[in-house]
């Protein structure tokens, strides 16, 4: 399972990459706006640290999305062009496939959207589970449904679980066989922690000191 960091903050990427567990980063216009700074420079910095950096097109018409996709893909081979799940987005995904440009389809909220994106040859799809939870639906159920559908076909499209909000989301996604999880920094920092690890280590250290006085 690949783990991505969901951020546009370069310091956060450097920190988690130093653990040796980070496979990629996902940015989006909201995260970029929060951090400020130059988008291209931020993406290029991240590309030095990880092999997958999602950069989202902001145009809404196919002709303009296509131009942005070409531009981003030319920045660095680690760039994955993120494309929203719209009809214009589907055309852009098909175009990117024909040009060998890797893509991540964002704002997926149904199995049918997932199938359409996969049919275009999208490299990844991003179902947003937290936002489904927010409106009283079960986001993880969507991952389960997509993984079940995927088990019948030969889609190369990786399922990237997005809008994760807490550590249980990552464990549940792993047990459903999802390919990738993208995780906010605050949630990523919780993943190595367990109270019994802390108390166990404290006891080991105290016992060690007691024989080395």
Spatial CA neighbour of 188 closest among 49, 68, 22: 22
* 15 touches 171 (CB < 8 A): no
Residue 70 vs residues 8, 16, 154: alpha-carbon distances, Å: 21, 29, 27
Phi/psi of residue 144, nearest 5 degrees: -60, -45
Spatial CA neighbour of 71 closest among 101, 108, 45: 101
163 near ligand G3P, judged by CB under 6 A: yes
| Residues that contact ligand G3P, how many (by CB under 6 A) | 10
**Site for ligand G3P (CB under 6 A): which residue of 67, 76, 91, 131?**
131
Shortest separation between residue 127's beta carbon and ligand G3P, angstroms: 10
Window of 16-24, 38-46, 96-104, 128-136 that interacts with ligand G3P by CB under 6 A: 128-136
Active-site annotation holds for 82: yes
Identity of the residue, 69 or 162, whose beta carbon is nearer to ligand G3P in the bound complex: 162
Identity of the residue, 70 or 191, whose beta carbon is nearer to ligand G3P in the bound complex: 191
Identity of the residue, 186 or 201, whose beta carbon is nearer to ligand G3P in the bound complex: 186
DSSP 5-18: EE-S-HHHHHHHHT
Distance of alpha carbon 19 from alpha carbon 65, whole angstroms: 35
Give the contact letters, 10-29, x = binds to ligand G3P (CB under 6 A), - = no.
----------------x-x-
Q: Three-class SS of residue 36?
A: coil
Shortest separation between residue 126's beta carbon and ligand G3P, angstroms: 6
Q: Which residues are catalytic?
A: 82
Residues that bind ligand G3P (CB under 6 A): 6, 26, 28, 126, 128, 130-131, 162-163, 182
């Amino acid at each position: 399972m690949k783990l991505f960091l969901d951020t546009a903050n370069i310091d956060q990427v450097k920190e988690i990459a130093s653990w040796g567990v980070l496979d990629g980063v996902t940015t989006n216009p909201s995260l970029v706006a929060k951090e400020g700074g130059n988008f291209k420079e931020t993406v290029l910095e991240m590309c030095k640290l990880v092999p997958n950096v999602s950069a989202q097109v902001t145009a809404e018409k196919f002709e303009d999305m296509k131009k942005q996709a070409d531009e981003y893909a030319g920045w660095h081979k680690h760039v994955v062009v993120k494309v929203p799940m719209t009809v214009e987005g589907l055309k852009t995904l098909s175009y990117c496939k024909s040009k060998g440009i890797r893509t991540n389809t964002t704002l997926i909220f149904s199995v049918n959207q997932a199938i359409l994106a996969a049919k275009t040859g999208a490299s990844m799809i991003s179902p947003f589970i937290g936002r489904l939870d927010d409106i009283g639906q079960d986001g993880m159920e969507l991952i389960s449904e997509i993984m079940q559908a995927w088990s019948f076909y030969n889609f190369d499209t990786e399922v990237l679980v997005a809008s994760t909000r807490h550590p249980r989301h990552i464990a549940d996604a792993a047990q459903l066989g999802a390919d990738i999880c993208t995780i906010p920094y605050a949630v990523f920092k919780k993943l190595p922690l367990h109270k019994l690890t802390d108390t166990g280590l404290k006891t080991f250290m105290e016992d060690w000191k007691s024989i080395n006085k």
